[in-house]
Amino acid sequence: MVTAGPSPSGSVPAVVIAAPASGSGKTTIATGLMGALRATGVVVAPFKVGPDYIDPGYHTLAAGRPGRNLDPVMVGPERIGPLFRHGASGSDLAVVEGVMGLFDGRIDAEATAPVAHGSTAHVATLLGAPVVLVVDARGHSQSLAALLHGFATFDASVRLAGVVLNRVGSARHEQVLRQACERVGLPVLGVVPRLAELEVPSRHLGLIPAAEHGLSATRAVAAMTDLATRTLDIPAIRAIASAGPDGPVWDPAVEVAAHPARAATGGHTTRPVVAVAGGRAFTFGYVEHRELLEAAGAEVVVFDPVHDRLPPGTSGVVLPGGFPEEHAADLAANDTLRGQLRAHAAAGGPIHAECAGLLYLTAMLDGHAMSGVIDVAARFASPLTLGYRDAVAVADSSVFPAGTRVVGHEFHRTALDSPSAVGFDAAWGWRGVDGAPVLEGFVGGSGHAGVHASYLHTHPAGHPEGIRRFVDAARAWAAGSDRE
């Protein structure tokens, strides 16, 4: 059930940037559009469909506001509108970058609706927002009309409002493509030539996060902004943007208030310090996570495991996703922090670690010493593990009680040398694609009661009770340990 604050006086207009397939140039166009709008004085709210952590970093640079995700699979379709209105509050216009192809979503063998669950089309219909289709024009000529006709008529609930022709080869090529668009009655909202210099370096999981790429990311966003300013019809795109119906606004304070505090807090009401890992190695996270932690009463302090120690008074630690395999040597060199994490875990202190966070808690990563909280080793592996998981918590933890059901997401190219470790129970159970049971992750037993570590990414907005539970655990631990 969604709890929410009062309805706003009016919804923010939005436009969705989609494509027929991955690799069509959505990120370049969406990011550039955000930057171009901002340059004209428009306050832009940036969004990304799905569980992607990397694109929102570039959106943040372009829009000057936090990039947020809209993922009906992980948070439920009923939360998309409230989360959108929360993230768009105070803006003039929202730009939503899609995921994969317009109608690509979670694969469900029993699904019959053309709009796949979690797809860009699904989110567009939930928001009541028009779609601009970015088409990679290489190899297209008159037959583009047939492709556009298919996308425009595939589902009547999706409103295709225009086309951006990307990677156009010549003036003659543009003329032919424009004729194809006119044939199906779709306006051309931009014509972008082939420009290889705008490509942003990538690695095994996609683009390099903006937080790692530093000045180069800033320059790339500036180039995208300049490109969009020169090639997109910004006034026309603003004109087609429209607002969906008014509705409730997601409110983190209301969300965590809806879940009662655990009795273990003993009435202790001080704000526990929750240390959240950041920096170059831990860049994967949702803005709503910090908002919920603070709403639940935590004092959130971000630290960089490459350089820093745990903040003074830390009673809970959050280790989000990222790329520790790219920074393993630097992480290993911070002996003090690794020792502090071992001590915190041994004392029963709450630790919530996902993916990269799990790797940092292992004993070894590609031959580099990690914190050693969990006595397993990890290594880079070439097969990509990717997809949503319908998971159930199989043991009580500082985050989830046993029996909690979530939809999470795996996204990694690392592997552990063992799925289990002495002193730990499994965190999650689910069925694999072959139907076989899978046990994954680690929940602390004797001596590590506060640890919850897993490859599975979860969205905190989908399970605010877990954030409240974690903050309560941190508060109770601080109250009983003289560590405040």
Could you tell me the residue ranges of all domains in the chain?
Answer: 12-249, 270-479
CB 221 within 8 Å of CB 36: no
Instruction: Give the pLDDT confidence of 83-102 residue by residue, as tens digits.
Output: 999 999 999 999 999 999 99
Rounded average pLDDT over 427-443: 94
Mean pLDDT of the chain: 90
Residue type present at position 159: R
CATH 3.40.50.300 fits domain 12-249: yes
| In the block, residue with structure tokens 């920096």 | 279
Instruction: Give the pLDDT confidence of 140-171 residue by residue, as tens digits.
Output: 999 999 999 999 999 999 999 999 999 999 99
Instruction: Give the pLDDT confidence of 207-216 residue by residue, as tens digits.
Output: 555 555 567 7
- Evaluated on CA atoms 317, 323, 324, 330, the torsion sign reads negative
Per-residue pLDDT band at 264 (split at 50, 70, 90): very low
Structure tokens at 220: 């790339």
CB 90 within 8 Å of CB 117: no
Domain boundaries 270-479, corresponding CATH code: 3.40.50.880
Instruction: Give the pLDDT confidence of 107-140 residue by residue, as tens digits.
Output: 765 555 657 899 999 999 999 999 999 999 999 9
pLDDT at 261 over 60: no
Per-residue pLDDT band at 325 (split at 50, 70, 90): confident
Residue 299: C-alpha distances to residues 254, 271, 415 (Å): 18, 6, 33
Instruction: Record the pTM.
Output: 0.91
Q: What is the pLDDT of residue 195?
A: 73
Q: Which position has the higher pLDDT, 53 or 378?
A: 378
Per-residue pLDDT band at 260 (split at 50, 70, 90): low
Query: Which sequence positions are flagged as catalytic?
Result: 355
Q: What is the pLDDT of residue 136?
A: 96
Instruction: Give the pLDDT confidence of 265-288 residue by residue, as tens digits.
Output: 444 558 999 999 999 899 989 999
Give percent above pLDDT 70 in the chain. Answer: 88
Instruction: Using CB atoms within 10 Å of the CB of residue 415, give its burial: 0 to 12 exposed, 13 to 18 middle, 19+ buried.
Output: middle
For the chain, what's the residue count?
Answer: 484
pLDDT at 57 over 60: yes
Instruction: Give the pLDDT confidence of 335-380 residue by residue, as tens digits.
Output: 999 999 999 999 999 999 999 999 999 999 999 999 999 999 999 8
Fold: same for 12-249 and 270-479 = yes
pLDDT at 263 over 70: no
pLDDT at 174 over 90: yes
Q: What is the pLDDT of residue 169?
A: 94
Q: What is the pLDDT of residue 206?
A: 42
Least confident of 59-73, 338-352, 469-483: 469-483
Per-residue pLDDT band at 9 (split at 50, 70, 90): very low
CB 178 within 8 Å of CB 188: yes
